[in-house]
Amino acid sequence: MSMAVDVVVVGAGHAGVEAALAAARMGKRVALVTLRSDAIGRMSCNPAIGGLGKGHLVREVDALGGQMGLCADATAIQFRRLNQRKGAAVRGTRVQSDRKRYSQAMARTVAAQDRLVVIEGEVAALKLQGQQVSGIELADGTGVDCRAVIITTGTFLSGALYVGEQRTPGGRIGEQAASALSSALLALGLRLGRLKTGTPCRLDKRSLDYDRMTIQPGDTPPPRLSAWSEFVGGKPPLPQLPCHITYTNERTHEIIRNNLHRSAMYSGAISGTGPRYCPAIEDKIVRFADRERHQIFVEPEGIDSALIYPNGISTSLPADVQEQLVHSISGFENAKLVTLGYAVEYDFADPRQLEPTLAVRDHRGLYFAGQLNGTTGYEEAAAQGLIAGINAVRWLDEQAPLILRRDQAYIGVMIDDLVNRGTEEPYRMFTSRAEYRLLLREDNAVERLTPIGRELGLIDDSRYALYSDRRQRAAALGTLLETTRVHGHQQLDEKLRALGTPAARRGITLAELLLRPQVALAHYREVGVLPPAEVDDSLIDEQVELAIKYAGYIDKQREQAERLARLEDQKIPQDLDYQALKGLSNEVREKLVRSRPLSLGQAARIPGVTPAAIAILSVQLRRQRAA
């Protein structure tokens, strides 16, 4: 038996869900194939969305019309803004979600989406007509005909789970691996490698001593991840819970050092590279031997859940060692381990085999997204899934693809990094990866990307009306601040002196006062210079205030970005014969032939492609335009 759709999405994790929803919302018939229909949108690791760099990605997915931010806000049990005391460009919103409710909410969204059907099964092979995909075959012998396939297999592609000396096939605890698909991809001539990630044990919250830990409450008011979330009276829909913080100690480290040979990471059982920036606890002890302790975030998994996620002690040590190390930690002395921590090793595809659209080179209609491309994290996966879904539809409709520039979105930075540089370890987004951080702030994601989402058909009328209204209010507020001059306002002057800055001089505007680092727009509302903030005003206030405070720096970055854009505008024909270009080294030719950059800007970012080579390419492109 076989059915026919426009797009098949393989895998229903964070990448797969965004890809499937985007394609269906853009008018295509979509089949979402998953090993387990009860695991749609499941949080495999920590029960949180967002963070430093990652919060930017979620805001951008949301601004384009994706689902992750809305779902996170609706199921959140704690909201926090990280790096609050640092500059606006490096702050990040993080939401602690109820793990079970998050997956349920995402599954309901998928079920309610028109033109989207969920199929439970394992994809065993791809069907091809020449170099174009024409469908998928399931392990049970059934198939689905289609015109595009998006593969988002996460850690399931030939996945293997490790606890000490024990190895079992699987992509997540209690769930089978997807092995046949690896062979199918290798048969296409694609390059696969192995990566590793992991997760800590889960603890029974009733067995912990919270008095021995430091409490960590959420922020008030809550900093939402989605611009479209509606909180009644500014309050989130679920009760808010605190997290806690504790630390490892010398006894913990001694237990780990004495048992390193029993860790799958150090016994030689695992060949894949693990994440540099979220290492297992045994890796931390080896790499940071001088550290006396390591922080552990004690995170509840949900309102009705008895489970605690001890963020910071991911491990593949055997069960008896996990028991010892957990019980050595303050507050965990009597902890009950409900599930063990484990490492998972899985296949990934070299992302340099992809176009910036996330289409696989030389195989039309085939797209990769998520951890399959060497990334780690829910947010990186969701962003790639959204772009793959959009571009699959654009390709089917013979329309220009969506390729976000590095000065346009963190999503653009991530994809550009992957397809140009590749990765030898799980790639994680950080604000430090972006050259234009001041242009890519969390607060202006909607301003940057919602018009694009609207054009794509992913932003409906109600959201676009809300966007337009906020934009008009922001413009009006900006004009008010630029034109309102204050002098002799007693309450304002008292507030300014309390903040450690002089009273307002004659003729100074509210916008000019905001340039003082001590002054915030909230102070104007506090003393009555501006009316009290309504529920929605905080989003507008933040954007307007930051645009004023950083105006000079933003202008400089815009000038730099415009120079980059000029390089991006110089398109390179895909049939350009690099072998015929004189002056290029063999190494540069090989890199250009393999990467086939779409523009001069993309070529300049390929490691090993020299400025001299870019100059030769530029001359060749001018000659072709003049011919």
Q: What is the mean pLDDT of residues 11-20?
A: 98
Q: Is the pLDDT of residue 100 over 90?
A: yes
Phi-psi region of 583 (alpha: psi -120 to 50; beta: other; left: phi over 0): left
Own/partner contacts of 132-138, CB < 8 Å, gap of 24 or more, are: 132/363, 132/364, 132/365, 133/363, 133/364, 133/365, 133/366, 134/365, 135/2, 135/8, 136/8, 136/10, 136/33, 138/33
Q: Is the pLDDT of residue 136 over 80?
A: yes
Q: What is the mean pLDDT of residues 174-191?
A: 91
CATH topology of domain 570-626: DNA polymerase; domain 1 (1.10.150)
pLDDT tens digits along 533-582 = 776 778 899 899 999 999 999 999 998 888 877 888 888 888 888 888 88
Give strand pairing partners of 133.
Answer: 128
pLDDT tens digits along 469-515 = 999 999 999 999 999 998 889 999 999 999 999 999 888 999 999 99
Angle at CA 280, nearest 5°, toward 279 and 286?
85
| 214-216 and 123-129 strand pairing | unpaired
| Closest alpha carbon to 177 in 188, 164, 168, 185 | 168
Q: Is the pLDDT of residue 131 over 60?
A: yes
**Domain range 483-554, CATH class:** mainly alpha
Q: What percentage of the chain has pLDDT greater than the value 70?
A: 99
Q: Is the pLDDT of residue 377 over 60?
A: yes
Q: If you search the block for the tokens 């390709």, which residue do you land on?
A: 395
Distance (Å, whole) CA 200 – CA 312: 8
The answer to which of 3-7, 61-65, 269-273, 382-386 has the lowest mean pLDDT is: 269-273
Q: Is the pLDDT of residue 621 over 70?
A: yes
Q: Is the pLDDT of residue 347 over 80?
A: yes
Average pLDDT of the chain is 93
pLDDT tens digits along 109-118 = 999 999 999 9
pLDDT band at 596 (very low <50, low <70, confident <90, very high): confident
Query: Can you give the residue ranges of every domain in the chain?
Result: 2-195+346-456, 202-343, 483-554, 570-626
CATH topology of domain 2-195+346-456: FAD/NAD(P)-binding domain (3.50.50)
Q: Is the pLDDT of residue 363 over 70?
A: yes
Distance (Å, whole) CA 211 – CA 208: 9
pLDDT of residue 535: 64
Task: Please list the helix, strand and coil fractions of the chain in percent, rounded to the nearest 5, in that order.
Answer: 40, 20, 40
pLDDT of residue 85: 86
- Would you say the CATH fold of 483-554 matches that of 2-195+346-456? no
CATH topology of domain 202-343: Elongation Factor Tu (Ef-tu); domain 3 (2.40.30)
pLDDT tens digits along 409-467 = 999 999 999 999 999 899 999 998 998 999 999 999 999 999 999 999 999 999 999 99
Q: Is the pLDDT of residue 1 over 60?
A: no
Distance (Å, whole) CA 606 – CA 601: 9
Distance (Å, whole) CA 11 – CA 379: 16
Q: What is the mean pLDDT of residues 350-363?
A: 96
Distance (Å, whole) CA 31 – CA 8: 5
pLDDT tens digits along 210-238 = 999 999 999 988 999 999 998 877 789 99
